[in-house]
Amino acid sequence: MVTEKIIQVLAEQYDMDPDTLSADSSFEDMSFDSLDVAEMVMTLEDEYKVSIEMSAEIKTIGAMAQHIEDKMAQ
Amino acid sequence: MSFNIIGTGRALPKKCVTNDMLASFLDTSDEWIYTRTGIKERRILTDESLLDLAYECSLAALENAGVAAEELDLIIFSTLQGDYISPSLCCLLSKRLGAVCGRQLDINMGCSGFIYALDIADSYFRADKAQKVLVVCAEAMSRISDWTDRSTCVLFGDGAGAVVLEKGDGFKAINLTVDGAYEDLYVPIPQGNCPYSPHSDEEGFLKMNGQDIYIFAVSAVVREINAILEQEGITPDEPDYYILHQANTRIIDSARKKLKQPAEKFPVNLDRFGNTSSATIPIMLDELNRAGKLKNGGKLIFCSFGAGLTTGVCAIEWTKQ
Protein backbone atom coordinates (compact mmCIF):
# COMPACT_ATOMS: atom_id res chain seq x y z
CA MET A 1 0.00 0.00 0.00
CA VAL A 2 2.69 2.45 1.07
CA THR A 3 4.91 1.14 -1.73
CA GLU A 4 2.25 1.95 -4.33
CA LYS A 5 1.80 5.43 -2.88
CA ILE A 6 5.54 6.14 -2.98
CA ILE A 7 5.65 5.00 -6.61
CA GLN A 8 2.73 7.29 -7.43
CA VAL A 9 4.35 10.25 -5.66
CA LEU A 10 7.72 9.72 -7.38
CA ALA A 11 6.15 9.18 -10.80
CA GLU A 12 4.26 12.49 -10.47
CA GLN A 13 7.12 14.47 -8.96
CA TYR A 14 9.76 13.32 -11.42
CA ASP A 15 7.63 12.63 -14.46
CA MET A 16 8.50 8.91 -14.52
CA ASP A 17 6.49 5.94 -15.78
CA PRO A 18 5.10 4.21 -12.63
CA ASP A 19 5.33 0.85 -14.42
CA THR A 20 9.12 1.15 -14.43
CA LEU A 21 9.20 1.45 -10.62
CA SER A 22 8.89 -1.28 -7.99
CA ALA A 23 9.74 -1.98 -4.35
CA ASP A 24 13.20 -3.03 -5.52
CA SER A 25 13.93 0.23 -7.37
CA SER A 26 16.82 1.99 -5.68
CA PHE A 27 17.11 5.75 -5.47
CA GLU A 28 20.54 5.42 -6.99
CA ASP A 29 19.12 3.60 -10.04
CA MET A 30 16.64 6.45 -10.41
CA SER A 31 19.62 8.89 -10.48
CA PHE A 32 18.33 10.59 -7.33
CA ASP A 33 20.75 12.92 -5.61
CA SER A 34 20.52 13.78 -1.91
CA LEU A 35 18.20 16.72 -2.55
CA ASP A 36 15.80 14.62 -4.63
CA VAL A 37 15.66 12.24 -1.67
CA ALA A 38 15.06 15.22 0.64
CA GLU A 39 12.13 16.38 -1.53
CA MET A 40 10.69 12.86 -1.51
CA VAL A 41 11.03 12.67 2.28
CA MET A 42 9.17 15.98 2.72
CA THR A 43 6.35 14.86 0.42
CA LEU A 44 5.98 11.50 2.19
CA GLU A 45 6.13 13.14 5.63
CA ASP A 46 3.23 15.39 4.62
CA GLU A 47 1.35 12.43 3.11
CA TYR A 48 1.70 10.09 6.10
CA LYS A 49 2.11 12.66 8.92
CA VAL A 50 5.20 10.87 10.23
CA SER A 51 8.75 12.03 10.79
CA ILE A 52 11.09 10.15 8.47
CA GLU A 53 14.71 9.74 9.52
CA MET A 54 16.84 9.21 6.45
CA SER A 55 19.68 6.76 6.80
CA ALA A 56 22.08 5.04 4.44
CA GLU A 57 20.07 1.82 4.99
CA ILE A 58 17.07 3.21 3.16
CA LYS A 59 18.16 2.68 -0.42
CA THR A 60 15.02 1.43 -2.16
CA ILE A 61 11.33 2.27 -2.46
CA GLY A 62 10.53 -0.93 -0.52
CA ALA A 63 12.88 0.01 2.33
CA MET A 64 11.32 3.47 2.51
CA ALA A 65 7.82 1.94 2.57
CA GLN A 66 8.86 -0.40 5.40
CA HIS A 67 10.32 2.54 7.37
CA ILE A 68 7.08 4.51 7.00
CA GLU A 69 4.97 1.49 8.00
CA ASP A 70 7.14 1.00 11.10
CA LYS A 71 6.72 4.66 11.99
CA MET A 72 2.96 4.50 11.51
CA ALA A 73 2.76 1.44 13.76
CA GLN A 74 4.55 3.26 16.61
CA MET B 1 6.80 54.68 13.42
CA SER B 2 9.41 52.35 12.01
CA PHE B 3 11.46 52.83 8.83
CA ASN B 4 11.57 53.02 5.06
CA ILE B 5 14.44 51.63 2.99
CA ILE B 6 15.75 54.67 1.12
CA GLY B 7 19.00 53.41 -0.39
CA THR B 8 20.73 50.18 -1.37
CA GLY B 9 24.26 49.17 -2.37
CA ARG B 10 26.32 46.08 -3.10
CA ALA B 11 29.96 45.16 -3.59
CA LEU B 12 31.49 41.94 -4.87
CA PRO B 13 35.15 40.93 -5.06
CA LYS B 14 36.69 41.22 -8.54
CA LYS B 15 37.90 37.59 -8.65
CA CYS B 16 35.31 35.36 -10.32
CA VAL B 17 35.71 31.62 -9.67
CA THR B 18 33.76 29.35 -12.03
CA ASN B 19 32.74 25.75 -11.38
CA ASP B 20 35.31 24.64 -13.97
CA MET B 21 38.03 26.39 -11.99
CA LEU B 22 36.97 24.43 -8.88
CA ALA B 23 36.96 21.20 -10.90
CA SER B 24 40.66 21.76 -11.56
CA PHE B 25 41.50 20.91 -7.94
CA LEU B 26 38.37 19.19 -6.58
CA ASP B 27 36.69 15.96 -7.69
CA THR B 28 33.63 17.78 -9.06
CA SER B 29 32.26 19.26 -12.28
CA ASP B 30 30.30 22.22 -13.56
CA GLU B 31 27.35 19.92 -14.29
CA TRP B 32 27.41 18.34 -10.80
CA ILE B 33 27.52 21.69 -9.01
CA TYR B 34 24.98 23.43 -11.26
CA THR B 35 22.32 20.71 -11.16
CA ARG B 36 22.52 20.40 -7.37
CA THR B 37 22.81 24.07 -6.45
CA GLY B 38 22.08 26.38 -9.39
CA ILE B 39 25.52 27.96 -8.89
CA LYS B 40 27.76 28.67 -11.91
CA GLU B 41 30.32 31.00 -10.37
CA ARG B 42 31.06 32.94 -7.21
CA ARG B 43 33.26 35.92 -6.25
CA ILE B 44 36.20 35.35 -3.93
CA LEU B 45 38.30 37.87 -1.98
CA THR B 46 41.91 38.12 -3.12
CA ASP B 47 43.74 41.31 -2.22
CA GLU B 48 40.61 43.11 -0.98
CA SER B 49 39.70 43.10 2.70
CA LEU B 50 36.16 42.54 3.91
CA LEU B 51 36.28 46.16 5.08
CA ASP B 52 36.92 47.23 1.46
CA LEU B 53 33.73 45.49 0.35
CA ALA B 54 31.74 46.84 3.28
CA TYR B 55 32.96 50.37 2.53
CA GLU B 56 32.14 50.13 -1.18
CA CYS B 57 28.58 48.87 -0.67
CA SER B 58 27.92 51.33 2.19
CA LEU B 59 29.08 54.26 0.07
CA ALA B 60 26.84 53.08 -2.78
CA ALA B 61 23.84 52.78 -0.44
CA LEU B 62 24.46 56.22 1.10
CA GLU B 63 24.74 57.79 -2.36
CA ASN B 64 21.60 55.99 -3.51
CA ALA B 65 19.78 57.35 -0.43
CA GLY B 66 21.23 60.85 -0.72
CA VAL B 67 22.41 60.60 2.88
CA ALA B 68 25.83 61.70 4.21
CA ALA B 69 27.74 59.39 6.54
CA GLU B 70 27.72 62.15 9.21
CA GLU B 71 23.92 61.90 9.37
CA LEU B 72 23.92 58.26 10.51
CA ASP B 73 22.79 57.62 14.11
CA LEU B 74 23.34 53.85 14.07
CA ILE B 75 25.36 51.32 12.07
CA ILE B 76 24.51 47.62 12.29
CA PHE B 77 27.09 45.33 10.71
CA SER B 78 26.19 41.70 10.08
CA THR B 79 29.03 39.26 9.50
CA LEU B 80 29.99 35.72 10.45
CA GLN B 81 33.53 36.94 10.92
CA GLY B 82 35.05 40.34 10.18
CA ASP B 83 38.66 41.04 9.32
CA TYR B 84 39.45 40.71 13.05
CA ILE B 85 37.85 38.90 15.98
CA SER B 86 38.27 42.27 17.67
CA PRO B 87 37.67 45.12 16.95
CA SER B 88 34.22 44.84 15.39
CA LEU B 89 34.33 45.76 11.73
CA CYS B 90 31.67 48.46 12.21
CA CYS B 91 34.28 50.54 14.08
CA LEU B 92 36.70 50.47 11.15
CA LEU B 93 33.92 51.01 8.62
CA SER B 94 32.54 54.07 10.37
CA LYS B 95 36.00 55.64 10.50
CA ARG B 96 36.53 55.09 6.78
CA LEU B 97 33.05 56.40 5.95
CA GLY B 98 33.47 59.44 8.17
CA ALA B 99 30.46 58.48 10.31
CA VAL B 100 30.44 60.00 13.77
CA CYS B 101 27.75 57.99 15.58
CA GLY B 102 28.74 56.02 18.67
CA ARG B 103 25.82 53.65 18.31
CA GLN B 104 27.11 50.79 16.19
CA LEU B 105 27.56 47.07 16.56
CA ASP B 106 28.50 43.88 14.74
CA ILE B 107 26.03 41.01 14.91
CA ASN B 108 26.47 37.37 13.96
CA MET B 109 23.19 35.62 13.21
CA GLY B 110 24.56 33.67 10.25
CA CYS B 111 22.60 33.80 7.03
CA SER B 112 19.65 35.45 8.81
CA GLY B 113 21.79 38.40 9.95
CA PHE B 114 20.16 40.95 7.61
CA ILE B 115 16.65 40.26 8.93
CA TYR B 116 17.88 40.37 12.55
CA ALA B 117 19.62 43.69 11.80
CA LEU B 118 16.35 45.13 10.43
CA ASP B 119 14.64 44.05 13.65
CA ILE B 120 17.23 45.88 15.76
CA ALA B 121 16.92 48.97 13.54
CA ASP B 122 13.13 48.86 13.92
CA SER B 123 13.51 49.02 17.71
CA TYR B 124 15.79 52.08 17.51
CA PHE B 125 13.32 53.89 15.26
CA ARG B 126 10.39 53.04 17.52
CA ALA B 127 12.34 54.27 20.56
CA ASP B 128 13.07 57.49 18.64
CA LYS B 129 16.81 56.89 19.08
CA ALA B 130 17.63 57.05 15.36
CA GLN B 131 16.67 59.03 12.27
CA LYS B 132 19.08 57.46 9.76
CA VAL B 133 20.49 53.95 10.03
CA LEU B 134 22.99 51.99 7.92
CA VAL B 135 22.69 48.20 7.83
CA VAL B 136 25.69 46.46 6.24
CA CYS B 137 26.10 42.73 5.61
CA ALA B 138 29.58 41.66 4.51
CA GLU B 139 30.78 38.09 4.38
CA ALA B 140 34.08 36.39 3.65
CA MET B 141 32.82 32.81 3.31
CA SER B 142 36.02 31.82 1.49
CA ARG B 143 37.96 32.21 4.78
CA ILE B 144 35.82 29.66 6.65
CA SER B 145 35.26 27.22 3.78
CA ASP B 146 37.25 24.00 3.62
CA TRP B 147 38.69 24.17 0.09
CA THR B 148 39.32 20.42 0.13
CA ASP B 149 35.64 19.60 0.83
CA ARG B 150 33.75 19.46 -2.46
CA SER B 151 30.39 19.22 -0.67
CA THR B 152 30.64 22.66 0.98
CA CYS B 153 33.25 24.99 -0.55
CA VAL B 154 31.47 25.07 -3.91
CA LEU B 155 28.36 26.57 -2.30
CA PHE B 156 29.69 29.85 -0.98
CA GLY B 157 30.94 33.19 -2.21
CA ASP B 158 32.13 36.47 -0.73
CA GLY B 159 30.13 39.65 -1.03
CA ALA B 160 28.48 42.59 0.70
CA GLY B 161 25.21 44.47 0.60
CA ALA B 162 23.91 47.50 2.47
CA VAL B 163 20.71 49.47 3.00
CA VAL B 164 20.06 52.94 4.41
CA LEU B 165 16.93 53.36 6.52
CA GLU B 166 15.03 56.45 7.65
CA LYS B 167 11.87 56.99 9.66
CA GLY B 168 8.77 55.77 7.87
CA ASP B 169 6.06 53.14 7.73
CA GLY B 170 7.53 50.81 5.11
CA PHE B 171 8.53 48.09 7.59
CA LYS B 172 5.30 46.19 8.18
CA ALA B 173 6.00 42.99 10.10
CA ILE B 174 8.75 40.63 11.16
CA ASN B 175 9.01 37.15 12.66
CA LEU B 176 12.20 35.51 13.89
CA THR B 177 12.77 31.96 15.12
CA VAL B 178 15.69 30.09 16.67
CA ASP B 179 15.74 26.40 17.60
CA GLY B 180 19.27 26.01 18.97
CA ALA B 181 20.17 22.97 16.82
CA TYR B 182 23.73 23.32 15.58
CA GLU B 183 25.01 19.89 14.52
CA ASP B 184 23.86 20.22 10.91
CA LEU B 185 25.46 23.63 10.27
CA TYR B 186 28.25 25.22 12.26
CA VAL B 187 31.74 26.68 12.12
CA PRO B 188 34.10 25.68 14.99
CA ILE B 189 36.34 28.40 16.40
CA PRO B 190 40.08 28.12 15.70
CA GLN B 191 41.89 26.36 18.53
CA GLY B 192 43.80 28.39 21.09
CA ASN B 193 46.91 27.25 22.92
CA CYS B 194 45.82 27.45 26.53
CA PRO B 195 47.62 24.66 28.44
CA TYR B 196 44.66 24.20 30.81
CA SER B 197 41.90 23.50 28.33
CA PRO B 198 41.37 20.50 26.07
CA HIS B 199 41.94 20.99 22.34
CA SER B 200 40.06 19.32 19.55
CA ASP B 201 41.46 18.45 16.16
CA GLU B 202 38.54 20.16 14.47
CA GLU B 203 39.62 22.84 12.02
CA GLY B 204 37.79 26.15 11.86
CA PHE B 205 35.90 25.33 8.67
CA LEU B 206 32.19 25.35 7.97
CA LYS B 207 30.48 21.98 8.46
CA MET B 208 27.11 21.23 6.94
CA ASN B 209 24.71 18.33 6.52
CA GLY B 210 23.19 19.51 3.25
CA GLN B 211 20.27 17.11 3.10
CA ASP B 212 18.93 17.94 6.56
CA ILE B 213 19.48 21.68 6.06
CA TYR B 214 17.60 21.45 2.75
CA ILE B 215 14.58 19.88 4.46
CA PHE B 216 14.74 22.46 7.28
CA ALA B 217 15.05 25.33 4.81
CA VAL B 218 12.19 24.41 2.48
CA SER B 219 9.83 23.61 5.37
CA ALA B 220 10.79 26.77 7.28
CA VAL B 221 10.49 29.12 4.29
CA VAL B 222 7.02 27.88 3.37
CA ARG B 223 5.83 27.92 7.00
CA GLU B 224 7.22 31.38 7.80
CA ILE B 225 6.03 33.03 4.57
CA ASN B 226 2.52 31.63 4.98
CA ALA B 227 2.46 32.83 8.59
CA ILE B 228 3.49 36.41 7.83
CA LEU B 229 1.09 36.65 4.87
CA GLU B 230 -1.74 35.49 7.10
CA GLN B 231 -0.67 37.84 9.89
CA GLU B 232 -0.68 40.79 7.46
CA GLY B 233 -3.92 39.70 5.79
CA ILE B 234 -2.36 39.54 2.32
CA THR B 235 -2.68 36.77 -0.25
CA PRO B 236 0.39 34.98 -1.67
CA ASP B 237 -0.28 36.70 -5.02
CA GLU B 238 0.03 40.24 -3.62
CA PRO B 239 3.78 40.67 -2.98
CA ASP B 240 5.74 41.85 -6.04
CA TYR B 241 8.81 39.89 -4.95
CA TYR B 242 9.80 37.22 -2.47
CA ILE B 243 13.48 37.84 -1.83
CA LEU B 244 14.78 34.62 -0.31
CA HIS B 245 18.19 33.91 1.14
CA GLN B 246 20.21 32.61 -1.82
CA ALA B 247 21.51 29.24 -0.65
CA ASN B 248 20.37 26.86 -3.37
CA THR B 249 18.04 27.37 -6.34
CA ARG B 250 16.37 24.07 -5.53
CA ILE B 251 15.34 25.40 -2.09
CA ILE B 252 13.93 28.53 -3.76
CA ASP B 253 12.14 26.53 -6.49
CA SER B 254 10.72 24.00 -4.05
CA ALA B 255 9.36 26.74 -1.75
CA ARG B 256 8.04 28.74 -4.72
CA LYS B 257 6.13 25.74 -6.10
CA LYS B 258 4.63 25.01 -2.69
CA LEU B 259 3.50 28.67 -2.53
CA LYS B 260 2.21 28.40 -6.14
CA GLN B 261 3.99 31.51 -7.42
CA PRO B 262 5.68 32.27 -10.76
CA ALA B 263 9.48 32.17 -11.06
CA GLU B 264 9.80 35.92 -11.74
CA LYS B 265 8.54 36.67 -8.21
CA PHE B 266 11.42 34.70 -6.66
CA PRO B 267 14.51 36.36 -8.12
CA VAL B 268 17.74 34.37 -8.13
CA ASN B 269 21.34 35.58 -8.37
CA LEU B 270 23.19 32.72 -6.76
CA ASP B 271 24.15 31.43 -10.20
CA ARG B 272 26.59 34.37 -10.24
CA PHE B 273 27.42 34.86 -6.55
CA GLY B 274 26.76 31.60 -4.68
CA ASN B 275 25.68 31.80 -1.05
CA THR B 276 27.07 34.98 0.52
CA SER B 277 25.36 34.30 3.89
CA SER B 278 23.70 37.41 5.36
CA ALA B 279 24.64 39.50 2.29
CA THR B 280 22.42 37.61 -0.18
CA ILE B 281 19.19 39.52 0.47
CA PRO B 282 20.63 43.07 0.41
CA ILE B 283 22.68 42.22 -2.71
CA MET B 284 19.52 40.98 -4.47
CA LEU B 285 17.54 43.99 -3.25
CA ASP B 286 20.17 46.33 -4.69
CA GLU B 287 20.10 44.51 -8.05
CA LEU B 288 16.31 44.88 -8.24
CA ASN B 289 16.42 48.50 -7.07
CA ARG B 290 19.07 49.57 -9.59
CA ALA B 291 17.30 47.68 -12.39
CA GLY B 292 14.19 49.79 -11.68
CA LYS B 293 12.13 46.72 -10.84
CA LEU B 294 10.80 47.90 -7.47
CA LYS B 295 7.52 49.85 -7.64
CA ASN B 296 6.63 52.51 -5.11
CA GLY B 297 4.00 50.97 -2.81
CA GLY B 298 4.93 47.42 -3.88
CA LYS B 299 5.02 44.68 -1.26
CA LEU B 300 8.21 42.70 -0.67
CA ILE B 301 8.77 39.63 1.49
CA PHE B 302 12.31 38.92 2.71
CA CYS B 303 12.95 35.42 4.07
CA SER B 304 16.15 33.93 5.44
CA PHE B 305 17.25 30.73 7.17
CA GLY B 306 20.55 29.55 8.48
CA ALA B 307 22.84 28.39 11.26
CA GLY B 308 21.27 28.54 14.68
CA LEU B 309 18.99 27.21 13.23
CA THR B 310 17.33 30.53 12.56
CA THR B 311 14.61 31.87 10.35
CA GLY B 312 13.77 35.48 9.65
CA VAL B 313 10.89 36.79 7.57
CA CYS B 314 9.68 40.34 7.13
CA ALA B 315 7.13 42.25 5.07
CA ILE B 316 8.23 45.55 3.53
CA GLU B 317 6.40 48.17 1.53
CA TRP B 318 8.82 49.70 -0.98
CA THR B 319 8.54 53.44 -0.53
CA LYS B 320 11.62 54.76 -2.30
CA GLN B 321 10.67 57.21 -5.06
pLDDT in tens, B47-76: 999 999 999 999 999 999 999 999 999 999
Q: Output the pLDDT for position B154.
A: 96
In chain B, beta strands by DSSP E: 2-11, 15-18, 41-44, 74-78, 104-107, 132-140, 158-168, 171-178, 185-186, 207-208, 241-244, 299-306, 310-317
Nearest CA in chain A to B258: A43
Nearest CA in chain B to A46: B219
- Give chain B positions within 8 Å (CB) of A54: 211
Check residue B292 and give left, alpha or beta (phi > 0: left; psi -120 to 50: alpha). left
Check residue B260 and give left, alpha or beta (phi > 0: left; psi -120 to 50: alpha). left
C-alpha dist (Å) from residue B80 to A11, B169, B180, B190:
42, 30, 17, 14
Q: pLDDT band for B283, please (50, 70, 90 cuts).
A: very high
ipTM of the complex: 0.73
Q: Where in chain B is the domain with CATH 3.40.47.10?
A: 2-169, 174-317
- Give chain A positions within 8 Å (CB) of B35: 33
> Which residue in B215, B249, B256 has the most chain A C-beta atoms within 10 A of its own C-beta, making it the best mutation to test that interface?
B215
CATH 3.30.479.10 correct for A2-73? no
Q: Residue A56 pLDDT > 80, yes or no?
A: no
* Residue B126 · residue B68 · CB < 8 Å: no
Residues in chain A: 74
* Residue A21 · residue A11 · CB < 8 Å: yes
Q: Is the dihedral of CA A65, A66, A67, A71 positive or negative?
A: positive
**Which amino acid is located at B129 in the chain?**
K
Q: Residue B228 pLDDT > 80, yes or no?
A: yes
Q: Output the pLDDT for position A72.
A: 87
Does the beta-carbon distance from B36 to A37 stay under 8 Å?
no
* Domain spans, chain A: 2-73
The answer to whether residue B275 is catalytic is yes
CATH superfamily name and code, B2-169:
Thiolase/Chalcone synthase (3.40.47.10)
pLDDT in tens, B21-48: 999 999 999 999 999 899 999 999 999 9
Number of H helices, E strands in chain A: 3, 0
Q: pLDDT band for B321, please (50, 70, 90 cuts).
A: low
Gap from B220 CA to chain A (nearest CA, Å): 12
Q: Residue B80 pLDDT > 90, yes or no?
A: yes
Strand duo B158-168 + B41-44: pairing: unpaired
CATH superfamily name and code, B174-317:
Thiolase/Chalcone synthase (3.40.47.10)
The percent of residues above 90 in pLDDT, for chain B, comes to 92
Does the beta-carbon distance from B215 to A37 stay under 8 Å?
no
Check residue B319 and give left, alpha or beta (phi > 0: left; psi -120 to 50: alpha). alpha
Closest by alpha carbon to B109, among B120, B100, B117, B118? B117
Mean pLDDT of chain B: 95
**Which amino acid is located at B77 in the chain?**
F
Gap from B243 CA to chain A (nearest CA, Å): 22
pLDDT in tens, B118-131: 999 999 999 999 99
Gap from A34 CA to chain B (nearest CA, Å): 6
The answer to whether residue B245 is catalytic is yes
